[in-house]
Amino acid sequence: MTLAVRDAGLRELMDDPACDPARLRRTLQRFGLVNRAVSCWDGVHRSQLRPFFAGLGRPARVLDIGCGGGDVLRRLVQLARRDGFVVEAVGIDPDPHAIAVAKRADFMPGVAYRQVLSQSLVQEGERFDAVISNHLLHHLDEVSLAGLLYDSEALSSGISLHSDIARGRVAYGAFALLAAPVAMGTFVWVDGLRSIRRSYTRAELAAVLPDGWRVDSPGTFRLLACFDHTSTHRSPSDRG
């Protein structure tokens, strides 16, 4: 096994339609702990979302694509409202198990979940101020990644922020050691390590992003694909 090359052909256990549904449910629930520890969304809120919401001067709509159990979306809404912003949010995921877990979580007014693909929202003419995703990019093949970025541009009138892991030996070793205590009865440990092997380096991600996108590093072992629709005067149709 080597981390020098992205292992795009490696499959995560939770992506298997025949995986144990009870173990999948526990995995989705446990992601709340994992994401708070590693995903750096509190920092992204402070550096990206909070200034953006402040500049809007009106209530904001946020979309989380591939929301899983919804923990990241709920956390961001909580942070925004704590800062005095009025935010409504929608989390979408094609997996019915994920949407079921999200809907069973603590009720938060103004936060809804739908079992739907982002392209369906584009076709519906939906628009949001901010579009986000967490740990989604490394799951996608080249065509699906291009589709996600296209949909992000079509659905957001403000900013798009897609957060993922930065592949590396230190990240792999640290996760292997630290995730074990919270992984029992879930796919977290095995799939977390596979996720790192499937993930991009900063240079690799920058190379596959379309014009107008950039890659930030919001924290150790983290990458953030960013697009600012307010400063980039280009519609998705301009990409051909």
pLDDT bucket at 2, cuts 50 / 70 / 90: confident
| pLDDT tens track for 127-167 | 999 999 999 999 999 999 999 999 999 999 999 999 999 99
Average pLDDT, the chain: 94
Name beta bridge partners: 162. Answer: 133, 225
How far is Cα of residue 5 from the mean position of the Cα atoms in its chain?
A: 22
pLDDT at residue 185, rounded to an integer: 96
Contact criterion met (CB below 8 Å) for 63 and 130: yes
DSSP secondary structure of 134-188 = ES-GGG--HHHHHHHHHHHHHHEEEEEEEEEEBP-HHHHHHHHHHSGGG-TTSSH
3-class SS of residue 39: coil
**Angle, alpha carbons 134-29-218 (nearest 5°):** 25
Closest CA to 228 of 51, 1, 95, 12: 51
- What pLDDT shows up at residue 240? 41
For the entire predicted model, the pTM comes to 0.94
CA 14 to chain centre: 16
The percentage of residues in the chain with a pLDDT greater than 90, rounded to a whole number, is: 92
188-233 pLDDT, tens per residue?
999 999 999 999 999 999 999 999 999 999 998 999 999 998 876 5
Residues 116-121, mean pLDDT to the nearest whole number: 98
Q: Hey, where are the domains in the chain? A: 21-166+202-228
Among 105, 38, 26, smallest CA distance to 73 is for 105
Q: How far apart are CA 222 and CA 239, in angstroms?
A: 27
- CATH superfamily of domain region 21-166+202-228: Vaccinia Virus protein VP39 (3.40.50.150)
Distance CA 122, CA 129 (A): 14
3-state secondary structure at position 19: coil
Backbone angles phi, psi at 148, to 5 degrees: -60, -45
Q: Is 28 helix (H, G, I), strand (E, B) or coil?
A: helix
Which ranges in the chain belong to alpha helices (H)? 21-38, 41-44, 50-56, 71-82, 96-104, 118-124, 142-155, 169-178, 188-198, 202-208
Contacts for 33 with CB less than 8 Å, ≥ 6 apart: 182
Which pLDDT does position 234 carry in this prediction?
Answer: 56
What integer is the mean pLDDT of 35-58? 96
